[in-house]
Amino acid sequence: MNFKFGLKQYSPIKIALVSGLALASIVNAATAYINQVGYRASDAKEFTIADGSGNVDIVDASGQTVLTVTPKPANMWAPSGQSVQLVDFSELKAVGTYSIKLNGQELRNDLKISDNTFEDVTKAALKWFYYQRASMALDKTYAEQWARPAGHTNASVALHNSTGGSGNINSSKGWYDAGDYGRYIVNSGITTYTLLSLYEHFPEYFKTLKWNIPAEGTLPDLLAEIKYNLDWMLTMQASDGGVYHKLTSLGFPGDVMPANDRDPLYVIGKGTAATLDFAGVMAVAARVYKPFDATFANKCLEAAKAAFAWGKSNPSKAFKNPGDVSTGEYGDGNLGDEMKFAGTELFITTGDASYKQNVSEAGVPNWGDVSGLALYGIATHENEFEASAPAAQALLSEMSDKFVNRAMTGFGVVMDSDDFVWGSNAVAANQGIWLLHAYYMTGEKSYYDAARKVLDYLLGKNPLNMSFMTGFGTKSPKMPHHRPSTADGVSAPVPGMLVGGPQPGGEDIGSESWECRDYRTGKPATSYTDNRCSYASNEVAINWNAPLAYLAGAIEALNAGHVPSFSKLAPAPTPTAIGLARPSLTKVDNGLKLKFNGREVFVEKNGKRFNLNGNKIK
């Protein structure tokens, strides 16, 4: 595949001149783009057709046409420059594998409908954090063919002069940040928060979900994995409460395994962003771990308080790479959003009004702008934030409505051209999380549907016709920019990684041997190459995998009957000891009230369903 162009270039019509007459013959060069992992039987379901015309037939394994669909009108999707049609096949609910045919020609035979569709995606996205562990060997029992010796086992690390100190500290554990072996507090911040919130929102689901990692006492797997990084983050706090920015070598290592990277490590810098990101994360950790380990939870809370105090006294200490350091900077000059995030989470945990924050505007979160994380906290804690909560919820809905409208056309994804930046796949996943928060607080099903469509995009329904997750889908990345996957001698990359995705920046293009040839297409959604050289489109990173894991995990949990305790979604029906009880319907105010096991679930009026708070759910 020539990824410079990415898409098959066909002309749908050939004109031939015969005896002076123009005869048109249709050349069927259509392509069907699908979620290559599969679709949930009970969900709304779409795929995309390009360069096609006519009705689409969906055929089962026996050759029987089970559904014929008229595609929606064609429209131009600007990010890829394609005229495409969405095909809604929601009527098909039977579990199985199907073929897609257009005008009798089979376009593909890997259309899957299943239950628990994204459970394995969730497990693999979370299991990848185990593969990223520093300071420990990965045993074959857990890592299989990707087992490896421990790397970066030296606990004693020198303080770089940029920290303002001298000597050494003990710092080990944590996750390697991306395709390199650095560990960065700022990026660990949004990553660890995202995973903590996944557990906090769906504790009953994640108490029992397991994916073969080493046990950490009685902790659920998700909390065991998160604690491995929290333990490292806690080592990065100085005695004055401030937090060091990163733990790296002075430059990036070569394509070697962790155990073979022997460049000296340094603790580098100290700043407001790292300190306040740390404070927010530790405040969440304090309440999440309290039921399991009150001592550890209190340690996290005291660390959060000390960090917040330092950040309040040093509100504008921005980090810049020292002159002798070239590893990831994660520099940020706008530090008000970190204060809002840290204060919001400390207020939720402690109830101390001195921490309370207000957010008047916020965007979809990323490592450099965590205002959206503060917005989530305010929107989902109505009792604590009182008058501020409705305004936060309105912001969630306002942007979600825009996302829903975008998802009605093109590839059915909420992204527009400006969203194709470095790590565009994480932008998409975080947009999905934003939509889910709006869904939690309103019950508006269109928000859920748009969030689920993000998974469709990430797992294959995109103009590159590929799943962006290693090891999943009919076609997935084979050569990610990830040093262990390059140097381990295993042909398959480590599974479960979300690559950064298409974007037109081309920061990795150049003439050096380790740089890429120009793969840009002139369209942001197709400017991508599956090549190890491409750190700008094909690298992996913890802050990209975390929102993928949240999105897939939350959708699985919701469909398993779990709802966040703060949400306005109807409580899920629960099975009785002898099986599922029959629901009862009673008339109320010209409508019907559903009771399940004696519990009121929703009210239906005029064909529309409302939860018991009066919010529409269907």
pLDDT tens column, 334-387? 999 999 999 999 999 999 999 999 999 999 999 999 999 999 999 999 999 998
Residues of the chain with pLDDT under 50: 1-27, 574-586, 595-599, 612-613, 618
3-class SS of residue 341: helix
Distance of alpha carbon 377 from alpha carbon 204, whole angstroms: 20
- Output phi, psi for 71, to 5 deg: -60, 155
Report which of 555, 569, 500, 439 is spatially closest to residue 198, judged by C-alpha positions.
555
Report which of 299, 310, 397, 312 is spatially closest to residue 357, judged by C-alpha positions.
312
Token representation of residue 597: 């096991």
Q: Distances from the Cα of 605 to the Cαs of 200, 444, 446, 593, 618, in angstroms?
A: 33, 16, 19, 9, 11
CB atoms under 10 Å from CB of 263, counted, come to 15
Instruction: Kindly list the domain boundaries of the chain, sorted by start residue.
Output: 13-114, 119-559, 576-618
Q: Distances from the Cα of 53 to the Cαs of 29, 84, 98, 597, in angstroms?
A: 10, 10, 20, 50
Asked if domains 13-114 and 119-559 share a fold, the reply is no
Distance of alpha carbon 252 from alpha carbon 375, whole angstroms: 35
Token representation of residue 79: 């990010």
3-class SS of residue 209: coil
Torsion region of 180: left, alpha or beta (phi above 0 gives left; psi -120 to 50 gives alpha): beta
The pLDDT value recorded for residue 24 is: 28
Q: Distances from the Cα of 238 to the Cαs of 101, 177, 341, 364, 565, in angstroms?
A: 63, 21, 21, 31, 36
pLDDT tens column, 179-193? 999 999 999 999 999
Give yes or no for a contact between 429 and 454, defined as CB atoms under 8 angstroms apart.
Answer: yes
- Point out the residues that are catalytic: 180, 481, 530, 539
Long-range pairs for 383-386: beta carbons < 8 A, 24 or more residues apart: 384/347, 384/348, 384/351, 385/356
At 468, which amino acid appears?
F
Task: Tell me the chain's radius of gyration from C-alpha atoms.
Answer: 25
SS (H, E, C) 272-330: HHHHHHHHHHHHHHHHHHCCCCHHHHHHHHHHHHHHHHHHHHCCCCCCCCCCCCCCCCC
3-class SS of residue 460: coil
* Helix (H) or strand (E) segment spanning residue 442: helix 424-442
State which fold the 119-559 domain adopts.
Glycosyltransferase (1.50.10)
Number of residues assigned to the chain: 618
At 266, which amino acid appears?
Y
Q: Give the sheet arrangement for strand 46-50, strand by strand.
A: 31-33, 46-50, 82-88, 75-77
The residue to which tokens 């593909």 are assigned? 108
Token representation of residue 3: 């990824």
The pLDDT value recorded for residue 615 is: 54
Chain center to CA of 82: 26
Handedness of CA 571, 573, 577, 583 (dihedral sign): positive
- The DSSP output letter for 468 is S
Residue 595 burial class via C-beta count within 10 angstroms: exposed 0-12, middle 13-18, buried 19 and up: middle
End-to-end CA distance of the chain: 43
The pLDDT value recorded for residue 29 is: 83
3-class SS of residue 566: coil
State which fold the 13-114 domain adopts.
Immunoglobulin-like (2.60.40)
Distance of alpha carbon 271 from alpha carbon 329, whole angstroms: 12
Give yes or no for a contact between 390 and 12, defined as CB atoms under 8 angstroms apart.
Answer: no
Distance of alpha carbon 181 from alpha carbon 331, whole angstroms: 18
